[in-house]
Amino acid sequence: MKTSIDIHGFTEAMAIKEIEQTIAKLPKETKELIVIHGHRSGDALKQMVASPYKIRSKRIKRRRYSKNPGETILELY
């Protein structure tokens, strides 16, 4: 099962909080969270999502990129 979240226009702190809350609410069957962060107006959010030190969730198994440079896929346990 997959789900997505769009963090366009969020500050880094707001995006971290939103992603962490979303992961916490997801059912255990959900194995992927697609984070849509955009790529044309800077890459601060993309770097934040890619960093293993920013988002604190034990459900994140790994991060991977898709062919779309404006999204990152979080694989979940």
Q: Is the pLDDT of residue 2 over 90?
A: no
Say what the pLDDT of residue 53 is: 94
The per-residue pLDDT for range 27-75, each reduced to its tens digit, is: 999 999 999 998 877 789 999 999 999 999 999 999 999 899 999 999 9
What domains does the chain contain, in order, with CATH numbers? Answer: 2-76 (3.30.1370.110)
Q: How many residues does the chain have?
A: 77
Average pLDDT over residues 12-32: 97
Q: Is the pLDDT of residue 12 over 80?
A: yes
Which pTM does this prediction carry? 0.91
Say what the pLDDT of residue 14 is: 97
Under 8 Å between Cβ of 38 and 70: yes
C-alpha 43/C-alpha 30 separation (Å) is: 27
